[in-house]
Chains A and B, each alone.
Chain A
């Protein structure tokens, strides 16, 4: 319990960019393990908060299928819908699009069961992000003349996840905390500056380049997957013709 309290004290101070917190992490006997511990605890707490918040949100909202029925019933009374029914295949095409939109919407609706998976995926996502970001940031910091070790960098960059503490508020339903990227960037900057003793422009670039590179790689992968999917769909369509 004492370890958790201590870790949250560090996260709290790191959230408000207090250099002492990053220096304490840098000078820890094993910053990597300390950072990993913090991220696992934070990830599990965020997931539990998410489960509670999502369950309350689900309990406060009407059933999505019932909403869908009400909307469709009312659309069917409109003039344009009746006109569409007269054209051959008009209604079936409409219902096809309608169902696909609602199915996509249903996957975004609050679901307590789906939120349970967050207990594994949330800490895992935090850790993967941290490992990739930490390694890249260490590489850039050293490239720019940094003096810190990899172990120290990993420990301090784990504290860059401190803005996620605010998302604990999602324990309350309908609370949306977005755009924590700037705050995370500021924390990363502070971590790299403290560990590697870099000048401010170098620390800015060392903190900024890893998310840019990760973003470009993710965009390329998504683009390649989309292009592959479209090619297969087009081939299937051409074969069907």
Chain B
């Protein structure tokens, strides 16, 4: 346990000798995945706790009122900037009416009986969401990693698959900062810092696991993301051009 904590500290501080020693361990992936899961579970625990409280607490008229007030405050902010366009006002009125019906539905559904007591059911719901999120992030890590590994191999990398995943899993350590994400205003900023720090650890892990120079490690780690972003941008651009062409054609005819 102490070993793991020291490794986590060294990984966060990008200490190369510690990462090299970890790379050469036979059980690198086992330990890496354990660290990654532990970090994601801890990082999601505050949000999970908030979720637990809201799930265990019955959703009654008081909670509905609170939700209504929050939504209405949002609309009032729009009105603060000036009088609304009649179409926009009609939309808001329609939305408010549907929102009220939705709230009534929510309160009625929440009051329907369940076989297990509501508190236990709420606990299970929150636990399920907490675990699903952590394991979802683990599978996303593997799905992204397989592309990075492919690019690394094509660039001449020579690290083993298990060592690669073991070492890159350490990127989850700085992501512990996303524990604070539910805190309003400052929370998402702290989480973003953790994410950027995690990217730096990831690049370092690619470098150590594949015995790469920093430049190659950056290229291998970021190329899959760059390709996906470019592909999405091109598809979006083509879609927008297609829609504009169709609209202009229909207006012209």
Contacts and interface: CB of A to CB of B under 8 A. Distances in A.
A169 B120 CA distance: 18
A60 interface: yes
Contact of A200 (B114, B153, B162): B153
Nearest to A73: B108
> Which range contains the number of A residues in contact with the other chain?
35 or more
B70 interface: no
Contacts of A59: 114-116, 121
A172 B26 CA distance: 32
A175 B135 CA distance: 9
Given A78-B101, A174-B125, A66 B112 contact: yes
A67 interface: yes
Q: Which of A16, A71, A179, A180 has the most CB of B within 10 A?
A: A16
Interface residues of B, number: 38
Contacts of A107: none
Contact of B97 (A78, A169, A172): A78
B43 to A, nearest CB: 18
Determine the main DSSP class of B at the interface with A: helix
A71 B104 CA distance: 9
Nearest to A201: B153
Nearest to B140: A179
Interface stretch (A82-90, A183-191, A224-232): A183-191
Contacts of A62: 109, 112-114
Given A67-B112, A185-B146, A78 B135 contact: no
Interface stretch (B11-19, B77-85, B126-134, B171-179): B126-134
Interface in B100-124: 101, 104-105, 108-109, 112-116, 120-121, 124
B101 A56 contact: no
Interface string B210-224: 000000000000000
Interface string A8-50: 0000000011110000000000000000000000000000000
Interface in B127-164: 127-129, 131-132, 135-136, 139-140, 142-143, 146, 150, 153, 161-162
Contacts of B131: 169, 172, 175
Interface string B30-58: 10010000000000000000000000000
Contact of A60 (B26, B114, B139, B162): B114
A212 to B, nearest CB: 15
A176 B112 contact: no
Determine the main DSSP class of A at the interface with B: helix
A174 B132 contact: yes
A177 interface: yes
A173 B128 contact: yes
Contacts of A96: none
Given A17-B165, A78-B97, A186-B142, A61 B114 contact: yes
A16 B139 contact: no
Contact of A56 (B30, B98, B116): B116
A61 B121 CA distance: 7
Contacts of B121: 59-61
B114 A186 contact: no
Interface of A: 16-19, 56-63, 66-67, 70-71, 74-75, 77-79, 166, 169, 172-180, 182-183, 185-186, 189-190, 200, 204
30 contacts: A16-B27, A16-B30, A16-B33, A18-B26, A18-B29, A18-B30, A56-B116, A56-B124, A59-B116, A60-B121, A62-B112, A70-B109, A74-B104, A74-B105, A74-B108, A78-B97, A79-B97, A169-B135, A172-B124, A173-B125, A174-B125, A174-B132, A175-B127, A175-B135, A176-B128, A176-B132, A177-B132, A179-B136, A183-B139, A200-B153
Interface of B: 26-27, 29-30, 33, 97-98, 101, 104-105, 108-109, 112-116, 120-121, 124-125, 127-129, 131-132, 135-136, 139-140, 142-143, 146, 150, 153, 161-162, 165
Given A176-B132, A185-B146, 7 more contacts: A70-B105, A70-B112, A74-B105, A174-B129, A174-B132, A186-B146, A204-B150
The 4 closest A-B pairs by CB, nearest first: A174-B128, A60-B121, A62-B112, A59-B115
